[in-house]
Chains A and B, each alone.
Chain A
Amino acid sequence: DVKVTQSSRYLVKRTGEKVFLECVQDMDHENMFWYRQDPGLGLRLIYFSYDVKMKEKGDIPEGYSVSREKKERFSLILESASTNQTSMYLCASNTGQGTYEQYFGPGTRLTVT
């Protein structure tokens, strides 16, 4: 079974702090994704990566950056956290082949105070 893990289920940070959200997948997937989920808005894509050291902006990249130094790990970075970044963050991965379904981690609920 595909397993996608995220470093924290719950995280509380202060405004202005640098925040790292880590995601690891164990199925050798080429593609990895970071979404944020807010009530009534569904999931919105922040960044995705289709290979090591490769990244592409999604729909809402402002205020975020990412890092993919190894194939299995994709990190989301909030350089200076703000209260409007309080949200649920979901990481996903897929192979980029076949039917393209994405496999999701359990999510990190981030609160910025």
Chain B
Amino acid sequence: AQKITQTQPGMFVQEKEAVTLDCTYDTSDQSYGLFWYKQPSSGEMIFLIYQGSYDEQNATEGRYSLNFQKARKSANLVISASQLGDSAMYFCAMSPVYSSASKIIFGSGTRLSIRP
């Protein structure tokens, strides 16, 4: 069975510091995709970054990068130079890329709070 584990329910980080949000996953699929979403207090889920299981390079999107370690089955999100607006819930998620219906499994989330 597929599973996503986020072991940090909450984190506090000083503004401008880098932060790493942990994510480990379990799957028997050979091909899969990994996602990170951000959920501000307003409630909407915002897609941040995607990593395919066969991508050799770690994905990057602006200040976001995904530290993908396939052998360890980890997909940590790194946010560089954190900002107050980064305060939100962050969800790691996984999908089998062969699925046409693209079912995504989510972790329980990490609440990130940025201190000024």
Secondary structure of the B contact surface, majority rule: loop
- Contacts A106-B42, A106-B44 given; indicate if A31 touches B108 (C-beta within 8 A): no
Residues of chain A within 8 A (CB-CB) of B105 are 45
By the criterion of a CB under 8 Å from any partner CB, how many residues of chain B are at the interface?
27
By the criterion of a CB under 8 Å from any partner CB, how many residues of chain A are at the interface?
29
Select A100's contact among B43, B104, B106, B108, beta carbons within 8 Å.
B104
Binds A, one of B65-73, B79-87, B93-101: B93-101
Max chain B C-beta neighbours (<10 A), residue from A94, A99, A109 = A99
Enumerate A27-65 residues with CB–CB distance to B below 8 Å: 31, 33, 35, 40-45, 48, 50, 56, 58
Total contacts A-B at CB 8 Å: 64
In Å, the complex CA distance between A108 and B51 comes to 29
Residues of chain A within 8 A (CB-CB) of B102 are 31, 94, 96, 100, 102
Which B residues lie at the A interface, using CB under 8 A?
Answer: 4, 9, 33, 35, 37, 42-47, 50, 52, 91, 95, 97, 99-109
Closest 9 CB pairs of A and B: A104-B45, A100-B102, A43-B106, A42-B108, A50-B101, A42-B106, A107-B43, A101-B47, A99-B50
> Contacts A43-B45, A96-B101, A102-B47 given; 10 further ones with Cβ under 8 A?
A31-B101, A42-B108, A48-B101, A50-B100, A88-B43, A99-B52, A102-B104, A104-B45, A105-B44, A106-B42
